[in-house]
Structure 1
Amino acid sequence: MPDHSSRLAKPGRDNLRGGLRFATELIAWVATPWALWPHSILLAVLADVLLIGLPAVFSTPGDRPGGDSPVAVPGIVTILLLLLQLVAATVSAWVLWPVWLAVPVTLLCLVVPFSELPRWRVLVRMPVG
């Protein structure tokens, strides 16, 4: 029988927290270029390249369920990349959508840091190399 205890001890493996985190990332990936498109197509494309590309290339070793990214970074960098996603999702929601939709997005983006605290505590202690 496989030992699942080591898998559960990894910081990014909680399904509920990961789902909340992914929901905010998805909102940022869709809403940010959408909000920027009327002003600059180049900025809209660049926003998605940064919001999707940076976390794909840079992550803390051992944090990802699917494996590590090409470039290992300290946990604080992974945390800052998520905070970037949260800010992008919140600002874009207020730029694009009516209040009844922007408010729940904002609340979600405010809940995520609290749900992420256990993961963040582990991330800041994880060695890079």
Structure 2
Amino acid sequence: MERPDDRRASVLRFATELVAWVAAPWALASYSWALAVLAVVVLIGLPTVFATPGDKAQVIVPVPGAVTILLVLLQLVAAVVAAWWAWPVWAAVVVSVLAAATLVTEQPRWRRLLTRVGG
């Protein structure tokens, strides 16, 4: 299976990740600065350490494609939930639309991750 052109998907995925990296600690900071820091460590650290061979150039700890998909879903959920929790409604709506678009554009990559790359 040929690797699909996923430039649009990667831009949307990265934008959603950035939102998660900002919104999650923002939402948690009023409760605990330690939880806010932990959120950043988890949201950035897990996908950095765990990756599916063939999907990422540098893999520290190889995992099946399903794990990579779950890590993306974690980012999407964190972005949406934190945005609704901490930001005005208009911003949360924008984040929700971004996450939905990311979910749609990720489908070819996810099919590839579950088949060829090792689901």
The bucket for the TM-score relative to the shorter chain is over 0.9
Counterpart position of 2:58: 68
Residue 80 of structure 2: aligned partner: 90
Residue 118 of structure 2 corresponds to: 127
2-side partners of 1:88 and 1:20: how far apart?
A: 15
Is the 1:36–1:43 Cα contact (8 Å) retained in structure 2?
Answer: yes
Q: Which residue of 2 aligns with 1:24?
A: 16
One-letter amino acid of the counterpart of residue 68, structure 1: Q
1:62 Cα deviation from its structure 2 partner: 1.2
1:81 maps to a residue whose letter is L
Q: What pairs with 1:28-107 in structure 2 (closer than 5 Å)?
A: 28-64=20-56, 67-107=57-97
State the TM-score, normalized to the length of structure 1. 0.86
| Matched position secondary structure for 2:30 | coil
- Where does the alignment leave 5 or more consecutive residues of structure 1 unmatched? 1-8
Higher relative contact order (CA 8 A, sep 6+): 2
Q: Distance in 1 between matches of 2:59 and 2:19?
A: 22
Structure 1 residue 69 displacement after superposition: 2.0
State the identity %: 58
Code of the aligned partner of 2:20: A
Cα RMSD (Å) of the superposition?
Answer: 1.4
- Rg bigger for which structure? 1
Partner residue, 1:5: none
After TM superposition, give the deviation of residue 34 of structure 1 in Å.
1.0
- Runs of 4+ with deviation above 2 angstroms: none
Q: What is aligned with 1:111? A: 101
Per-residue deviation at 1:127?
Answer: 3.1
Q: How many residues align?
A: 117
